[in-house]
Structure 1
Amino acid sequence: MYIPKYYKVTNVREIEDFIQANSFATLVTTKQGTPIATHLPVMLHKKGDDAYLTGHMAYGNPQWRTFETCGDVLVMFQGAHAYISSSWYTHENVPTWNYQAVHIYGQATILEKDVLVDDLTMLLEKYEKHREKPVLWDTISPELLETEMKGIVGFKIKVDKIQAAYKLSQNRNEVDYGHIVSQLKNEETPNSQQMAQLMEQRCKKQ
């Protein structure tokens, strides 16, 4: 991923928090030079100085069969993004797009069944525990679980390389930056509203 110096993010904790909050990812591998992509939720795990991503996909999805031959896989995470009109600047320029993105590279391996069960249990905990009637591993019938487990393949990716970019108009002067935030707030799209909030939070941290 091309990352100009203004937008490069190197704070590991910040990147980890971003992944946890934007965990629906795009997993990319190759088969004989052709890219293959699957969109799916993944989880980030830390073990000492090492980090891993885990997830699962349908057994019928041929992508998991490429893990052994494709070398590194790429996992892409996307956060807030919004169109930025150059009419919002105090000088002539061209429009652009603000965004947040994290790319993870690493080797993928298949999970054993017992490890996959643990991972699915944690996945349900993450997304269900706050609900009034949470659907957790122990609340699903063993018969249904056994049937569904036959239809998926779990995987683990050891994190070898991380690239992170937050393009949030950091290269703009204070006046233009504030004007961009104000104009984003006036937009009706959720993406623009989210970007405005993110840019405001960035200012408060400085």
Structure 2
Amino acid sequence: MYIPNQYQNTDRADVENFVKNNSFAILVNQTAGKLWATHLPLELETDANGHEVLRGHLAKANPQWKGFAENDQVLAIFSGAHAYVSSSWYDFEEVPTWNYSAVHVYGTIRTIDGDELLAHLTRLVDKYETASEHPVSVAGFSKKTMAQVRGVVGFEIKIDDIQAIRKLSQNRDAKNFKTIITELEKTGSPDAVAVAQDMKRCPFEK
């Protein structure tokens, strides 16, 4: 991923939190000679050896998983809030731009099944059911419902490289930086407001 120096996010803890908080990702690989992408949840976890990995699953009917054996190199893309920045907000003439944050994770993928897959599905359901008024659990599903597990392919991605960008107007002076935050908040757009909050937390703030 192309990342100008001032937009690089090298704070590993911040990057990990970003991946965990924006876990609905895009998994990209090459399948049958073509680029293939699937939108799916990917969970950042630690394996038995203490190494960070991504775990997920996709439908067995999705041919993407068949490409894992041909080429085990994959890319997972995590995107955060993004917003248009109007150059009318500046006190000088400039072109408009877009503020956003994203993380690209490159790794080596392998399929998982059996108890390993079941453990992944259990953790996934437990994580997202915490906000439910009447949470369900994998352990509580009937045999009929659990039979659907045969229709998915689980996988684990050994992380080889992480690249993170945080493009939040760090190239502007203090006055214009603060103005952008104010104007983003005034839009009322959830994404724009979220970007404004990201800018307030940005360590590159002028």
TM-score range (shorter-chain normalised) is over 0.9
Distance 1:122 1:205, change over 3 A: farther
Take 1:118 and 1:159, find their aligned partners in 2: how far apart are those partners?
20
* Aligned positions of 1:54-133 closer than 5 A: 54-133=55-134
Deviations 1:65-98 (A, max 9, x none): 0012124100000001100111111111111100
5 Å-filtered alignment, 1:4-23, equals 4-23=4-23
Q: What runs of 5+ residues in structure 1 fail to find an aligned partner? A: none
Verify the 8 A CA contact 2:170 2:204 in the aligned structure 1: no
The more displaced of 173-182 and 122-131 is 122-131
How far apart, in 1, do the equivalents of 2:81 and 2:144 lie? 40
| Residue number in structure 1 paired with 2:187 | 187
Give structure 1 regions of 4+ aligned residues with deviation exceeding 3 angstroms. Answer: 203-206
Q: Deviations over 1:22-76 (max 9, x none)?
A: 0000000013542100000011112455211000000100000001212410000
Q: Which amino acid aligns with 2:111?
A: I
TM-score (normalizing by structure 2): 0.94
- Give the fraction of aligned pairs with identical amino acids, expressed as a percent: 43
What residue identity is the alignment partner of 1:134? Answer: P
Offset from partner CA, 1:128-161 (integer Å, 9 cap, x none)? 0232210111222122112x11111101100001
Q: What amino acid sits opposite 2:113 in the alignment? A: E
Residue of structure 1 equivalent to 2:149: 149
Please tell me whether the aligned partners of residues 199 and 205 of structure 2 are also in contact (alpha carbons under 8 angstroms).
no
Measure the CA separation in 2 of the matches of 1:27 and 1:12.
21
Report the equivalent of 2:141.
140
Q: How far is 1:113 from its partner?
A: 1.6
Number of paired residues? Answer: 205
Aligned partner of 2:40 in structure 1 is 40
Over aligned residue pairs, what C-alpha RMSD do you find?
Answer: 1.7
2:36 aligned with 1:53: no
Between the aligned partners of 1:197 and 1:62, the Cα distance in structure 2 is 39
User: 1:198 matched to which residue of 2?
Assistant: 198
Alignment-mate amino acid for residue 72 of structure 1: Q
What are structure 2's unaligned runs of at least 5 residues?
none
Contact (CA 8 Å) 2:100, 2:167: kept in 1 or not?
A: yes
Distance of aligned partners of 1:203 and 1:52 in 2 relative to their CA distance in 1, 3 Å threshold: closer
Question: Once the 2 structures are TM-superposed, how far is the Cα of residue 200 of structure 1 from its aligned partner?
Answer: 2.0
Shifted more, 63-72 versus 111-120: the winner is 63-72
